[in-house]
Amino acid sequence: MKNIMVTGGAGFIGSNFVRYMLGKYPDYRILVYDKMTYAGNPDNLLDVTAMYGADDPRFDFVKADICDANAVADAITRFSIDTIVNFAAETHVDRSIMDPDAFIQTDVYGTYVLLEAARRHGLERYHQISTDEVYGHIHGDHRSVETDAVAPRSPYAASKTSGDLMAVAYYVTYGLPVTISRGANNIGPYQYPEKVIPLFVTNAIDDIPLPVYGDGKQRRDYQYVLDHCEGIDVVLHRGQIGETYNIGTGGEMENLRMVEILLDELGKPPSLIRHVEDRPGHDRRYCLNVDKLKALGWEPRHSHEEAIRKTVRWYVDNEWWWRKIKSGEFKEYYKRLYGDRKVINPA
């Protein structure tokens, strides 16, 4: 594994992963292959492109779609790719509820195109970045284990599940060296402010209300993005071919508790909280059992609270990054999703 094609490498987790891998493995070369949708942002890789100039063989960038089989084949040949790590996806549940089409294109068909290219070019490894949402919302005290049945409930989760199933099929049918990791909710630098934590931090900085869906008692495992990147690295180097690994803290936190920590770190009042009409089909709880990855020697480094506070401070210190986004296409999106949403009293 030396020449890695990181699809979706200009997005949130992908750009953190690229920075992490270039820093950790001086003999690896990284190709970012990204379509640059609204979520792909050259600013996410600004320091990387400044450090590895156009002549540096360690870093390259191709702007293209993973659904374009010719462009994928061309990139694999031109950059002698031996490994694909597929982050490229449509990723936001609320957008998948409004417009599922792009989710089916990229997360399902695009994954198939990459798997087929990996097979035809005889790549050493294909790694699929997946999500805890494939397990659906889970009940009681159960923590999802990798062998649990998948039960996705949103168009986003269903499209990611299809990608996982196709990856497994390529392993079983063609012997393609596939691994899959299923991450919990990531937070940290460069997350597009449609996702809850960057949305709430940036709203709160400007004293704009925080639209908490329903009663706010849904539970998520908010993990720091670099803990997730380290987990992916461990799966790539020590994981078993054909296997799936959960990556998260193994814990869970109520959304209202997350909001309390976020407001406390900013020194802003709870009066900013607005309970609004719930998301249709909102998953109440995700929680992962991460023992399988821990058995390979990995441990998360941040608690939920540390991850949330560190993330809040990054957005406070990096207004240059998010103000541009929030003044662009985002305004239309915000109006469409939240404009007519009823304020509710959850009690």
**Residues acting as catalytic residues:** 132-133, 156
Cβ neighbours around 210 below 10 Å, total: 21
Does position 287 interact with ligand NAD (CB under 6 A)? The reply is: no
Does position 211 interact with ligand TYD (CB under 6 A)? The reply is: yes
Query: 152 is in the binding site of which of ligand NAD, ligand TYD, none (Cβ under 5 to 8 A by kind)?
Result: none
Residue 344: CB minimum distance to ligand NAD, A: 26
Q: How far apart are CA 5 and CA 81, in angstroms?
A: 6
Does position 114 interact with ligand NAD (CB under 6 A)? The reply is: no
Residue 214: CB minimum distance to ligand TYD, A: 7
Q: How far apart are CA 71 and CA 33, in angstroms?
A: 10
Q: How far apart are CA 278 and CA 54, in angstroms?
A: 47
- The pair of structure tokens assigned to 256 is 């209202």
E-only strand ranges, 25-97: 29-34, 59-63, 83-86
Q: How far apart are CA 96 and CA 60, in angstroms?
A: 30
Site size toward ligand NAD (CB under 6 A) is: 30
Pick the binder of ligand TYD from 95, 127, 195, 228 (CB under 6 A).
195
- Residue whose structure tokens are 């987790």: 13
Closer residue to ligand NAD in complex, CB, 85/272: 85
Residue 286: CB minimum distance to ligand NAD, A: 10
Pick the binder of ligand NAD from 35, 95, 275, 304 (CB under 6 A).
35
> What is the rounded radius of gyration, in angstroms, for the C-alpha atoms of the chain?
19
Closer residue to ligand TYD in complex, CB, 110/152: 152
Q: How far apart are CA 180 and CA 128, in angstroms?
A: 5
Q: Which of 194, 109, 191, 108 is nearest to 157 (CA)?
A: 108
135-174 mask for ligand NAD (x: CB under 6 A)? Answer: -------------------------x--------------
Interaction site with ligand NAD (CB under 6 A): 7-8, 10-14, 34-37, 39-40, 65-67, 87-91, 106, 110, 129, 131, 160, 183, 185-186, 192
